[in-house]
Amino acid sequence: MAGYDDRDGKIWMDGKLVEWRDAKVHILTHALHYASSVFEGERCYTGKIFKSVEHSERLRKSAELLDMPLPYTVAEIEAAKTATLEANGLTDAYVRALAWRGAGEDMGVASSRNPIRMAVAVWSWGNYYGDAKFKGAKLDISKWKRPSPETIPSAAKASGLYMICTMSKHAAEAKGCSDAMMFDYRGYVAEATGANIFFVKNGEVHTPLPDAILNGITRQTVIGMLRDKGITVHERYIEAAELEGFEQCWLTGTAAEVTPVGQIGDYTFEVGALTREIATDYEKLVRA
Ligand SMILES: Cc1ncc(COP(=O)(O)O)c(C=O)c1O
């Protein structure tokens, strides 16, 4: 498979569609040096992006949190995504919207004179965890902790927050795991490197409070689905010692969708009935 920079197709950049291979930035782009970049990961199913407006709103919010207000409205972001999907002839695709501080008069930490830029790329992308999607993913436990919201704007889907995720995932893959679960700065269960986490015990569901992690759009959707079924969902702080007592576990995210987890470190979980039911219901919902 060719590299992501070497493909046919079009990418939307700063208001217009350009050839895929020409979607380039200068080496003195502020974002490349100082992580002034925010993004979205979305999925288009049979021609419709699931929760598209919510993703566009979150992109704008993430950019605001990084002090780089986007020069595009939600409606303009929506139009950009539609145009990119159409230009590439895709109806089932992953959608990556990205906004960043470009190159300009500033090359120090401050960047207010540099342009705020945006791009949208789309491509076909199957299961994020491959086979694990069906068998139950094996997760490592990361040595890195999710930082306090007083350390970094954790509510933003910002590139800087992924530095420890990339390192965690590399370490996990080196051990034969699909991903890593991270604790937060207080020692509570947080999330995986690109997905939220849920546990089942005695027919009730437990998931971390999103006060130091991304409150994923899939997470919110799945909580709504569970409550609609009459299942109790506890959004609360989860201690490390509790991992031993949970029966089932799954991850949620746009890329991960609902992925069962079979193992986290030495703790094992069954791919149980509720996990399978929620995964199936989610698949139906996104295509409804
Ligand atoms: C760190 C992190 N947490 C959670 C999620 C899940 O968010 P969503 O369901 O909005 O895709 C993602 C993926 O975007 C993520 O990268």
To test ligand 1's pocket by mutation, which of 157, 165, 207, 215 has the most ligand atoms within 8 angstroms of CB? 157
CATH code assigned at 66? 3.30.470.10
CA distance 253 to 42: 9
- pLDDT for the residue numbered 28: 98
Neighbours of 12 (CB within 10 A): 25
To test ligand 1's pocket by mutation, which of 165, 221, 254 has the most ligand atoms within 8 angstroms of CB? 254
- pLDDT for the residue numbered 129: 75
CATH code assigned at 263? 3.20.10.10
Longest dimension (CA), the chain: 59
Question: Is the CB of residue 68 less than 8 Å from the CB of residue 101?
Answer: yes
- pLDDT for the residue numbered 231: 98
- Which domain covers residue 81, as residue numbers? 10-123
- pLDDT for the residue numbered 132: 72
Cα 94 to averaged position of ligand 1 atoms, centre (Å): 14
Residue 5 lies in a domain: no
Note the pTM of the prediction, 2 decimals.
Answer: 0.97
Instruction: Indicate whether 138 and 86 sit together in one domain.
Output: no
CA distance 245 to 199: 10
User: What tens digit of pLDDT does each residue of 18-54 get?
Assistant: 999 999 999 999 999 999 999 999 999 999 999 999 9
Looking at ligand 1, which atom is closest to the CA of residue 193?
Answer: 1
Q: What tens-digit pLDDT sequence spans the chain (288 residues)? A: 789 999 999 999 999 999 999 999 999 999 999 999 999 999 999 999 999 999 999 999 999 999 999 999 999 999 999 999 999 999 999 999 999 999 999 999 999 999 999 999 999 988 777 777 778 999 999 999 999 999 999 999 999 999 999 999 999 999 999 999 999 999 999 999 999 999 999 999 999 999 999 999 999 999 999 999 999 999 999 999 999 999 999 999 999 999 999 999 999 999 999 999 999 999 999 999
CA distance 69 to 62: 9
Instruction: Indicate whether 229 and 103 sit together in one domain.
Output: no
Instruction: Indicate whether 142 and 211 sit together in one domain.
Output: yes
- What stretches of 81-136 adopt beta strand conformation (E)? 93-101, 116-123
- pLDDT for the residue numbered 131: 73
Cα 21 to averaged position of ligand 1 atoms, centre (Å): 28
The one catalytic residue in 143, 157, 169, 284 is: 157
Query: Is the shortest distance between the CB of 178 and ligand 1 below 6 Å?
Result: no
- Closest-CA residue, ligand 1 atom 16, reads 194
Instruction: Indicate whether 117 and 151 sit together in one domain.
Output: no
Cα 41 to averaged position of ligand 1 atoms, centre (Å): 8
Residue 1 lies in a domain: no
- pLDDT for the residue numbered 125: 87
Instruction: Indicate whether 94 and 204 sit together in one domain.
Output: no
- Annotated active-site residue 51? The verdict is no
Query: Is the shortest distance between the CB of 217 and ligand 1 below 6 Å?
Result: yes
**DSSP 3-state of 265:** coil
- pLDDT for the residue numbered 206: 98
CA count, 13 A, side-chain hemisphere, 212: 22
